[in-house]
Amino acid sequence: MTLAPPPSSPELLAPAGTLKNMRYAFAYGADAVYAGQPRYSLRVRNNEFDHANLALGIREAQQQGKRFYVVVNIAPHNAKLKTFLKDLEPVIAMAPDALIMSDPGLIMLVRRHFPQMPIHLSVQANTVNWASVEFWQQQGLSRIILSRELSLEEIAEIRQQVPAMELEVFVHSDFSKHRILSAYRSVLKKQKKQRLAFTAVSSIPVFDNLSLTSREVENGHHLKGSRRQAYGQLLR
């Protein structure tokens, strides 16, 4: 199967989780989705993508000219390495548009045994500087998903230093996956969480100047109906 061509304008990327969510994402303007591979993804909850659904999702996406990425982002112990390549073979045969990975050892194995498969470096790898981006470029990766903690100025410097690498950033997501700030919130010690909304809508024109390949929307299930559609149009 022929892979979808790379985007000429910033891609709008969303998580799938289920075939229903994938179809909603495409209906509301997403260019691509991602879903976890069974046993090798951190996306364990809310993930109905067994091998049968992965094959169906990839086929549906590519028939629409969309892209489907498979997440393989665990940090495996030796026991998982013994079965990894055998378990990955049927996924490779489905011809996803890329694998999203974080573990250097698994990346090495995929590059060695499936050199034609594009690899995107997962945000789990915590890429925060241009030297790391250049390193992964030299390893043959095609895209880096940058850490959420980067400022716009830092992203701009990475783009300037490594102009040929595809860069992906989160534009609707958790502020950070690290508990650096929340550890100091006394309210959490009492198990009383409070919501505090941040918005980057005013920064969208700045994103346009960064030559980004992909803008990722996470937790988009909180947006419903016309709000979801309007948000998708705003990000495009």
Q: What is the pLDDT of residue 41?
A: 87
| Cβ count within 10 A of residue 88 | 21
Q: Say yes or no to pLDDT of 51 above 80.
A: yes
**CA 147 to each of CA 13, 90, 234: distance values in angstroms, whole numbers, following the listed order:** 16, 30, 23
Confidence of residue 104 (pLDDT cuts 50, 70, 90): very high
Q: What is the pLDDT of residue 217?
A: 74
3-class SS of residue 96: coil
Q: What is the pLDDT of residue 213?
A: 74
Q: What is the pLDDT of residues 60-98, one digit of tens each?
A: 999 999 999 999 999 999 999 999 999 999 999 999 999
CA distance 221 to 211: 27
157: left (phi over 0), alpha (psi -120 to 50) or beta: alpha
CA distance 214 to 81: 30
Q: What is the pLDDT of residue 234?
A: 46
Confidence of residue 46 (pLDDT cuts 50, 70, 90): low
Q: What is the pLDDT of residues 179-231, one digit of tens each?
A: 445 444 544 445 555 555 555 556 666 666 677 777 677 655 445 554 455 44
Q: Say yes or no to pLDDT of 18 above 50.
A: yes
Q: Domain limits of the chain?
A: 11-235
What pairs with residue 119 in β-bridges? 99
Q: What is the pLDDT of residue 230?
A: 45
Q: What is the pLDDT of residue 136?
A: 98
Q: Say yes or no to pLDDT of 107 above 50.
A: yes
Q: Say yes or no to pLDDT of 101 above 80.
A: yes
Q: What is the pLDDT of residues 109-158, one digit of tens each?
A: 999 999 999 999 999 999 999 999 999 999 999 999 999 889 999 999 99
3-class SS of residue 33: strand
Q: What is the pLDDT of residue 206?
A: 64
Phi, psi torsion values for 224, nearest 5 degrees: -120, 150
Q: What is the pLDDT of residue 100?
A: 97
Contacts of 224 (CB under 8 A, 6+ apart): none
Give the mean model confidence (pLDDT) for residues 158-172. Answer: 91
Question: Within the chain, what is the greatest distance between any pair of CA atoms?
Answer: 53
* C-beta separation of 146 from 123 below 8 A: yes
The answer to whether domain 11-235 has CATH 3.20.20.60 is yes
What pairs with residue 67 in β-bridges? 32
Confidence of residue 2 (pLDDT cuts 50, 70, 90): very low
